[in-house]
Amino acid sequence: MTALTVRLPNSVHQKIKELAARDDISVNQFIASAAAEKMASVLTLDFLKSEAALGRRSDFEHYLRMVPDAPAQAGDERV
């Protein structure tokens, strides 16, 4: 475990304390969870961008041509 000093505006610190108390967790747990969520979000976006870079328009069009040209099913119509 690593200790880290973070400077926060008083208003942010106060709101974090309130939210942590509401969830019955420590401020440290709240901040660790928030950092982990942000990290997961950034890593997911990186992954999706790298996967998208591997895509080819011709593959997309190939599979799109396989979709039948039929009217929308009930409930799926455009509004």
Q: What is the largest CA-CA distance in the chain?
A: 60
**Residue 24, pLDDT above cutoff 90:** yes
Number of domains comprising the chain: 1
Using DSSP's 3-state secondary structure scheme, residue 69 falls into: coil
Let me know if residue 18 belongs to a domain: yes
Please give the Cα distance from 9 to 11 (Å, whole number).
5
**Residue 17, pLDDT above cutoff 90:** yes
Domain enclosing residue 24, as ranges: 10-65
Let me know if residue 35 belongs to a domain: yes
Looking at residue 19, its pLDDT comes to: 98
Let me know if residue 21 belongs to a domain: yes
Taken as a whole, the chain contains a residue count of: 79
Give the tens place of pLDDT for each residue, 26-75. 999 999 999 999 999 999 999 999 999 999 999 999 999 999 999 888 99
Looking at residue 45, its pLDDT comes to: 98
Looking at residue 77, its pLDDT comes to: 85
Let me know if residue 78 belongs to a domain: no
Residues 6+ apart with CB under 8 A from 26: 20
Please give the Cα distance from 53 to 45 (Å, whole number).
12
